[in-house]
Amino acid sequence: MEHWARAVVLFLLLPALVQSAVLRYKFDVVMKNTTKLCSSKAIVTVNGRFPGPTLYVREGDNVLVMVNNHVNYNVTIHWHGVRQLRTGWSDGPAYIAQCPIQPTQSYLYNFTITGQRGTLLWHAHISWLRATVHGAIVILPRRHTPYPFPKPHKEEIIILAEWWKADTEAVVKQAMSIGLPPNVSDAHTINGRTGPVRNCSSQSTYTLHVESGKTYLLRIVNAAVNDELFFKIAGHRLTVVEVDASYTKPFLTDTIYIAPGQTTNALLKADQPAGKYLIAISTFMDAPVAIDNLTNYAILRYHGTPPGTSVALTAMPAINATASQSNFTNSLRSLNSKKYPATVPLVIDHSLFFTMGVGVDPCPTCMNGSKLVGDINNISFVLPTIALLQAHYFSISGVFTDDFPANPPIPFNYTGNSTANLRTMNGTRVYRLPFNSTVQLVLQDTALVAPESHPTHLHGFNFFVVGMGMGNFDPNEDPKGFNLVDPVERNTIDVPTAGWTAIRFRADNPGVWFLHCHLEVHTTWGLKMAFLVDNGEGPNESLVPPPKDLPKC
């Protein structure tokens, strides 16, 4: 474990039988002068690092992270994918779970890892600060519990991200002022490195060192702000064994698709002749939307490879390779073993249908007199000025309403050429769920401005992806094909372009939980909402009281 983490072990019985620990981390949010693409700027970082430090924990550990804000921005940290059972105060999204940590202020995040093991990520959850404020979370199994796959020789973390030459906060501010999409990033990064760049010789390239015959576990994290990515290693196949900290049935692939906010663990066997092999990432976008379409490169190098050895190359999928994306997604299945069962809800209490897309609203001060907005069920979400969780817990009226619609207010041909519902309604509305109720949620993309995929993240829960398809969801026919046996379990899932995704989950976590597109451009425009889950019976089914150092708005 890295030197900035201190672990205080709780001895439950004997040292050899230790099952949980209290882990203390210190996150100092500071500015750091950084040069990439032959251009320098100051970026917001944790502990002066990009990417930020990795949290190493075990299932069952209690994690305490003290975040000290030394920059002139408001800050929050989200522990993406951590269930946060009854600890919504530590979830992190600004004005949903907490008010931001203001400059010079601090906040202690306090949560326990329950029933999870694998790879997740943490990132800032306010404005676009997560462009540089992010890192990995490695959740090891409980002590003396093996992986449900062959033990690797070594583990490697690979974090994929985006890089702007400009200040990202200035980029989004300008875009919001004119009502148009923000400028796309200038490059992708692999573990903070942009790789070889034309006309810029100062760039560094990430190298993955391997030994022939050994097996490596790659913990791959997509921390990009807006880009869905393909990942590939020349001459090698990867065995996927886990996504979003949930074990999967192993399957072989030469290409991994990974959306912003998603994580994938894959076994790499170094079974090729000694040499250098290209590691490449490229963008996936099957809609007419501007993106950063540059491919970034890293190198896999075998031990003993002579200097000057040429690099074995690989061909990446086309930018609009929908088949490659869907083939990977459809290959994922829960492990569904006796030890790790797939507990899919079979009886549904709340059947919801949410349309997701982009609309156009009037904006007299914008460039064209209008602005692009994101919406769910035709509602563009407006962030409150006090956190929803605080308003809920302290019964503060006037902050939100609990009348978010279960279905679109006006049904229409969602993936057809309709312009009937370009205008949206603004509101801070939540959907209320009783504790322990079961939910089926169908997420439907729309083509009002342009059809586009939406990697969607649900805070506070894992869900099962029971179905996915193209066109408009058919409530009579499509459920017949749902996988209710071993669907993949995730916290972030893609809603395909001009298509739909169906998920199921149990609302067993009291609090207020964010649902949003994890493309930051869409979240900024309002493509988000929240679920309010009521307390159950007794303290073990109720939200814990807020901590004394909870930030104030």
Mean pLDDT by runs of 10 across the 553 residues of the chain is 42 48 98 94 98 98 98 98 98 98 98 98 98 98 96 98 96 93 94 86 86 98 98 98 98 98 98 97 92 90 95 97 97 97 98 95 91 95 98 97 96 82 87 98 92 96 98 98 98 97 98 98 96 97 98 96
**Whole-angstrom Cα distance, residue 486 to residue 463?**
12
Buried-state track 231-242, b at ≥16 Cβ within 10 A, e below 16: bbbbebebbbbb
Q: Report yes or no: 301 and 276 within 8 Å, Cβ to Cβ.
A: yes
Cis peptide before 146 (omega within 30 of 0): no
Q: Return the DSSP state at 193.
A: B
Half-sphere exposure of 438 (CA within 13 A, CB side): 9
Buried-state track 295-328, b at ≥16 Cβ within 10 A, e below 16: bbbbbbbbeebeeeeeebebebbeeebbebbbeb
**Whole-angstrom Cα distance, residue 166 to residue 213?**
44
Model pLDDT, residue 218: 98
Look at strands 134-140 and 55-58 and give their pairing. Answer: parallel
The owner of tokens 């619609």 is 405
With left for phi above 0 and alpha for psi between -120 and 50, is residue 279 left, alpha or beta?
beta
Half-sphere exposure of 421 (CA within 13 A, CB side): 26
With left for phi above 0 and alpha for psi between -120 and 50, is residue 479 left, alpha or beta?
alpha
Q: How far is CA 193 from CA 33, 83, 121, 161, in A?
A: 15, 31, 18, 9
Q: Give the count of beta carbons closer than 10 Å to the beta carbon of residue 77.
A: 29
Q: How far is CA 200 from CA 39, 194, 195, 211, in A?
A: 10, 11, 10, 31
With left for phi above 0 and alpha for psi between -120 and 50, is residue 144 left, alpha or beta?
left
**Whole-angstrom Cα distance, residue 24 to residue 90?**
14
Per DSSP, the three-state class of 535 is: coil
Q: Report yes or no: 512 and 484 within 8 Å, Cβ to Cβ.
A: no
The owner of tokens 């750091």 is 32
Q: Report yes or no: 328 and 390 within 8 Å, Cβ to Cβ.
A: no
Give the ranges where 301-355 is alpha helix by DSSP (H). Answer: 322-331
Q: Report yes or no: 173 and 151 within 8 Å, Cβ to Cβ.
A: no
Let me know if 162 is exposed, middle or buried by CB neighbors in 10 A (0-12, 13-18, 19+): buried
Helix (H) or strand (E) holding 521: helix 520-525
Per DSSP, the three-state class of 17 is: helix
**Whole-angstrom Cα distance, residue 249 to residue 241?**
6
**Whole-angstrom Cα distance, residue 514 to residue 85?**
14
Let me know if 367 is exposed, middle or buried by CB neighbors in 10 A (0-12, 13-18, 19+): exposed
Q: Report yes or no: 414 and 445 within 8 Å, Cβ to Cβ.
A: yes
Q: How far is CA 402 from CA 154, 409, 432, 509, in A?
A: 49, 15, 6, 17
Look at strands 296-302 and 207-210 and give their pairing. Answer: parallel
Could you tell me the maximum CA-CA distance found in the chain, to the nearest angstrom? 69
Half-sphere exposure of 420 (CA within 13 A, CB side): 11
Q: Report yes or no: 274 and 238 within 8 Å, Cβ to Cβ.
A: no
Q: How far is CA 302 from CA 15, 69, 278, 306, 315, in A?
A: 39, 42, 12, 9, 21
Model pLDDT, residue 6: 44
Model pLDDT, residue 295: 86
Q: Which residues pair with 458 in a beta bridge?
A: 515
Report the side by side order of strands in the sheet with 118-124. Answer: 55-58, 134-140, 118-124, 77-80
**Whole-angstrom Cα distance, residue 517 to residue 527?**
6
Model pLDDT, residue 202: 63
Q: Which residues pair with 108 in a beta bridge?
A: 66
